Structures are given as structure tokens and as C-alpha cells.
Amino acid sequence: MRTFEIKEPDKGIEQALRDKIENLAKPKGSLGRLESLALQIGLIQQTFSPTLRHPVNVIYAADHGIADEGVSKSPKEVTRQVIYNFLNGGSGVCFLARQHGFELKIVDGGVDFDFPANPRLIDRKVRKGTRNYLHEAAMTAEEVDKAIQYGADIVTDCYNEGCNVISFGEMGIGNTATSSVWMHCLTGIPLVDCVGAGSGLDEAGVRHKYNVLKAAIDNYQGDGSAADVLRYFGGIEMVMAVGGMLRAAELGMIILVDGFIMTNCVLMASRFYPQMLPYCIFGHCGDESGHKRVLDFLGAEPLLHLGLRLGEGSGSVCAYPIVESAVRMINEMHTFAQAAVTKYI
């Protein structure tokens, strides 16, 4: 796997940033989470006047071999159908991207389908879907390396186009199953607490999903390291997202984190480079049953609780105006001295 040079944001300016925020014309702490966000973004960018430029939502897409075991309510062909909906501007994240000024980049990392050439679809296909990890490793080490590199390269392109705040989304039937396995293996949280309804399984469906994943874990003979879990139980689009997140942190970008699947990608990325976590802003806590548990494990405080469980980056894009408000607060509010207001508590 390629290496990344990720440094935690220098805290040398932290107290001066706090002083600026606390001297804005308002009671101390009265803008709540906007204040902590402004502090975080100021530290990421190492400035007292942070900016948000050219926000991008990158959607990595791929199919999962484990989907053949009926772990999702949706059939595998839905992956390619939803990609066409992305390209036609009709998906949930599409209207949110238009509303909040995001560019969308759609990346075919491993969809089990041959798409005709389309300038709006970025072809980085590693293979046509992963293998079925109920029976064998989902990916080879070489495929992991390629997915990490491709995911990182897309972020480099965004950065070179002027982006400094990036959101990640995903499309791939079966990826809540893969996320549940990653979550269990990396946190030790009981598998039953990691497995949820995904795209809409009923109680019997969730029970079947759990049984399949339990059997896959029982069959696993690896060493349990993050690198081995990534390879054996990987989803191509999820591994690409790990590479993208690590590259974004290396470049000092703000990382907006979406739902259950992308939160587990942060979990995986942070096992390799814990110093990437300060670059992450968690957009929301969704309805997938394991999402709150993995957020709590990471010590993450999500911005929204709207019952979302779409994926695609929808929750992080939806939360973006709150991030923008935090930046406007630190840049546009007057201090007590500027406003000629007596400092009050």
C-alpha cells in the first residue's frame, strides 16, 4: 500500500484562534457548535480567516461479491442503475449538490457492468466487483494497492482544480454488509450490534444478513490486522474512499464524512493514520443501526440527526451549510471592539 505523509494540524495557533472566537460580539460559547467548527477549520487551514473553495462530492462505485448471498434487499443491478441516475442528475445527492454548490465526481471503481464511454463517469475500474468473502478473500493485495492509488488520485485532481473541502459518497449493493464486518473487526463491537437493515431488509432479512456475515468471519483465517481486514473483507469503492480520505488529509483538506459506510471508511483509514481524524467533520448520524455506535467509538460528534440512510454523500453535503456558517462567523462577525459593544457574558 502506498504511504501518506499526514501531519496533525499544528496547535500553535489554537489559543489565538480561541481568543478571536471568544472576542466576537456575542456571549462566550453562545454560537455553540459553530464555534468549535470554526476552531477546527482554522487549525486545519492554519489561519485566522479560513475559506471554503470549490466543494466536491466524490462518489466511488463498485459491486460486492457478498451481495450474491442475499444480504441486501436490492439486487446487484441496482448499482449500475443508480449510477445512470447520478449521471442524469436525478439522485438524492444530485439535488443537494445543486443546492449547495458542489461538483459531483462519479467514479466507476468496480461495477460489474461495462459502461459506454461517458465524460461524466470517471473510469478507474479495478475489477468487476469483489470476490465473495464468504468463501475467499474479496481482493488481492495488488487490487487493494490499485484501489488506494486510484482513490487518492481522484482527490489530487480535485485539489489541483481548487478544492479544499471534500465529501465522499459511495454506491454499491452490499456495502452496508461489508461496513458491518469492518466495524466488528476493527472495534470489537459484537457483530449483532453492527448489522442493520441496509436498503430496507425486514427482521428476517437482517437475521439472514447476520448469519451470512457471521459465517464469513468464522471462515476467515487471517491475522486480523487492519490491512488484512481491508483486503479480505474489502469493497473496492470503500478501499478507494480510504485512499481518498488519506490523500485529502495529506493535502490539508477538510473532509466531510457521510453515513455508516463512509464512517467505517474513516475508521479504517484512522487505523493506518490516526492523525487523519482532525481533518474530519462528521455530517450526520443516520438510521443504520450501527452508525451511532461507530461514531461513538471514534468520539465523533455529528452535525445532523435527520434519519438519513441514503449514502451517496447526501448527509455530508446536506450538513455543508453549517460548516459554511462557522466560516462566515469567524470571518464576518465583528469583535466587541469593532462593534463598540461592552464585552458581556
Q: Which one, of 12, 36, 52, 49, lies nearest residue 254 by Cα?
A: 52
> With bands split at pLDDT 50, 70 and 90, how would you rate the model's confidence at 178?
very high
262 touches 256 (CB < 8 A): no
pLDDT, one tens digit per residue, over 266-288 is 999 999 999 999 999 999 999 89
Domain 11-50+329-339 carries which CATH code?
A: 1.10.1610.10
Q: How far is CA 217 from CA 59, 62, 129, 138, 312, in A?
A: 28, 22, 20, 13, 27
- Identify the active-site residue in 8, 288, 312, 324: 312
Provide the percentage of residues in the chain whose pLDDT is more than 70. Answer: 100
Residue boundaries of the structural domains of the chain: 11-50+329-339, 56-322
E-only strand ranges, the chain: 56-62, 103-110, 121-123, 165-171, 254-257, 280-282
> With bands split at pLDDT 50, 70 and 90, how would you rate the model's confidence at 345?
low
Q: For position 241, what pLDDT does the model report?
A: 98
Tell me the pTM: 0.96
Query: Hey, what's the cell of 79?
Result: 448499482
pLDDT, one tens digit per residue, over 136-160 is 999 999 999 999 999 999 999 999 9
Q: For position 279, what pLDDT does the model report?
A: 98
Question: 56-322: same fold as 11-50+329-339?
Answer: no
Q: Which CATH architecture has domain 56-322?
A: 3-Layer(aba) Sandwich (3.40)
> With bands split at pLDDT 50, 70 and 90, how would you rate the model's confidence at 295?
very high
Mean pLDDT for 70-84 is 95
Catalytic residue flag (residue 312): yes
* Sequence-distant (≥ 6) Cβ neighbours of residue 286 within 8 angstroms: 259, 260, 307, 308, 309, 315
- Pairing between β-strand 254-257 and β-strand 121-123 as defined by DSSP bridges: unpaired
